[in-house]
Amino acid sequence: MAHRRVRLGRGVALLAVVAVTGAIVAPAATAARQDKKEAFPSVDQPGVSDTEIKVAGVATVTNDPTGNTLGSSFDGVKAYFDYINKKEGGVYGRKLVLDGEHDDQLANNRQEVQAILDDEPFAVLPVAVALFTGASLLADAGIPTFGWNINPEWGSETVDPGPPNLFGQFGSFHCFSCAFPSPQVWLAKKLGLKKAATVAYDVAQSKGCADGFEASLKKYPVAKLVFKDTSLPYGNSDYSADVARMAEEGVDYVVPCIDGNGAVTLSREMQRQGLDATMVLANAYNHPFAEENAQFVDGNYVFTVFAPFETRPKPPGLKLYEQWTKKTGGDQNENSYVGWMNADLFVAGLKAAGADFTQQKVVDAINAMKDWSAGGILPGVDWTTAHENDPECYAILRFQDGKYKPVFGKPGKPFLCFPADLKTIPTDPQVTG
C-alpha cells in the first residue's frame, strides 16, 4: 500500500499512520526519529537530498576482450550500500544509492564518464574499465572517484602525483614502467630462477608492465632478462616464435604482461614445445578461470593486493563482503570485491568529512587517512602518500588442482611487504595481515 504524506498535528498524524498502515507507532518513538533526522544539517551538494546520497559508476561490461568480470564491480558497491543502509540507516540519515550503472563497451569510456558528470552525482563509483580515457574529466571536475587501479591514468606516468580525487582500491599511484621490489622479482630469488622472459601487447599498460619488470631486474639483479617481446597485437593467439626463442635462451621464468586468456594460450604453446618454466600471471585471480584452465596454470603463481578469499582466519571485512554479496545475490569475484572496497572507502570518507560534508571535504578527509584497510582486507593504505607511491604488500598464491593456495604468508597474515626504498631483495620479507 502506498504511503501518503500528510501535514497534521502529532495526535492526528498518529491516527493517520494507523489508518494507512494498520500499525501503531508510539508518539515518543516518532518524535525520537524526527529529532534524529533533524539533527543532520542540510547539505547543498550534487546528488544529495535530505534522504539520499546518489552516486554513479562505469564498467566495461561488454566487449572486454580480456574476459575479466568488470561488471561485477557494481555488485560489490550495491552489497556494501545495502549493508550500510540496513545496519546503520545510511550515512547522516541519508540512504546511499547507486543511481547509474554505465557500460562503456570498451571504446566509450570518455563519453560515459561525461554522461555521469552531466547527471551530477555526489561521487563516481565504481570505475572498473579496460581503458580509462575519461580520467581527466573526473580529475578536472574534482569529484570523488573510486575504482580498480589497473590503468595508468589513476596516477603514475600521466600525472605525478596522481589526481587527489581519484582513489584506487589500494592507492592511486601505479607506475607500470618503474623499477621497484615487486613480488615477481622476489619470487625469482625465492625459487632460484635465473633466466627470465616477458611478453606484452603493444598497448601502453601491457608494454609498461614488461618495461617495469625489465627495470626491476636491472635494479635488483636476482635473475637475467634474456627475452622480451612487447610487439604482440592485442589478443595475440600465436606464441610459437616467442616460445621457440625462450627455449633457445634456456628460460626458466616467464612473466606474461597480458590477460589471463593470453597467458593460457602462451602456456599451452610452452607445453607443446616442452618449455618447463614457472609463470606469474597478471590479473588472474578468477576462480572459474583457475578451474577451467587447471592443466595450463597449475604450479604457477598469481599475486593480489588484497586478502584473498582463501585467507584463514578471514578478516572482518572479508566476512562482511561474503555475507552481504550473498544476501544481495551479487557475484563474488575480484571485481565485486574491489567494488566493495571502493564503497567502504567512500563511506569512510563521508564519515570523516562530517555531517556538513561536501565533495571536497570527502576528498580531503580521505587524503588525511593513514591506515585504511577496509576491515582488514588490505594491509593498510596511507592516503597521505598513496598518490605518489606504489603499494608495498602483496599476497602470493599458487595454482593447485584448479584452485588457489596461499603461499609464503602466515595464518591471518597473507601479505609479504617490500618497502620501495629497499636496496636489495630480502630472502624473508616482512609478513603482515
Do 4 and 109 share a domain, yes or no?
no
**Residue 292 belongs to some domain of the structure:** yes
Do 125 and 164 share a domain, yes or no?
yes
Spatial distance between the Cα atoms of 359 and 357, rounded to a whole number of angstroms: 7
Do 291 and 317 share a domain, yes or no?
no
The DSSP 8-state label assigned to residue 278 in this structure reads E
Do 347 and 319 share a domain, yes or no?
yes
**Residue 340 belongs to some domain of the structure:** yes
- Tell whether the model's pLDDT for residue 188 goes beyond 80: yes
Spatial distance between the Cα atoms of 129 and 134, rounded to a whole number of angstroms: 10
Do 296 and 341 share a domain, yes or no?
no
The enclosing domain of 211 has a CATH number of 3.40.50.2300
Do 222 and 118 share a domain, yes or no?
no
Do 164 and 246 share a domain, yes or no?
no
Are 125 and 146 in contact by the 8 Å Cβ rule? The answer is yes
**What single string gives the DSSP state of each residue in 86-125?**
HHH-SBTTBEEEEEEEEE-TTT-HHHHHHHHHHH--SEEE
Spatial distance between the Cα atoms of 129 and 205, rounded to a whole number of angstroms: 13
Buried b or exposed e, range 83-98, using 16+ CB within 10 angstroms: bbeeeeebbbebbbbb
Do 402 and 300 share a domain, yes or no?
yes
Q: Structural domain of residue 26, as residue ranges?
A: 1-31
Are 219 and 250 in contact by the 8 Å Cβ rule? The answer is no
Spatial distance between the Cα atoms of 298 and 291, rounded to a whole number of angstroms: 9
List pLDDT tens digits, range 348-382: 999 999 999 999 999 999 999 999 999 999 999 99
Number of domains in the chain: 3
Do 244 and 340 share a domain, yes or no?
no
Spatial distance between the Cα atoms of 201 and 130, rounded to a whole number of angstroms: 14
What's the mean per-residue pLDDT of the chain? 90
List pLDDT tens digits, range 2-57: 332 222 232 333 223 223 333 333 334 333 344 444 589 999 999 999 999 999 99
**Residue 376 belongs to some domain of the structure:** no
Do 106 and 195 share a domain, yes or no?
no
Are 259 and 203 in contact by the 8 Å Cβ rule? The answer is no
List pLDDT tens digits, range 390-428: 778 999 999 999 999 999 999 999 999 998 889 999 999
**Residue 76 belongs to some domain of the structure:** yes
Residue 33's pLDDT is 40
Copy the grid coordinates of residue 268: 599451452
**What single string gives the DSSP state of each residue in 291-320?**
HHTHHHHTT-EEEESS--TT-SSPPHHHHH
**Residue 425 belongs to some domain of the structure:** yes
Last residue of one domain, picked from the residues 366, 386, 403: 366
- DSSP three-state, residue 432: strand
Residue 13's pLDDT is 31
Spatial distance between the Cα atoms of 254 and 110, rounded to a whole number of angstroms: 35
**Residue 296 belongs to some domain of the structure:** yes
**What single string gives the DSSP state of each residue in 196-244?**
EEEEEESSHHHHHHHHHHHHHHHHS-SSEEEEEEEEEPTT----HHHHH
Least confident residue range of 65-74, 133-142, 220-229, 297-306: 65-74
Do 220 and 242 share a domain, yes or no?
yes
Do 346 and 282 share a domain, yes or no?
no
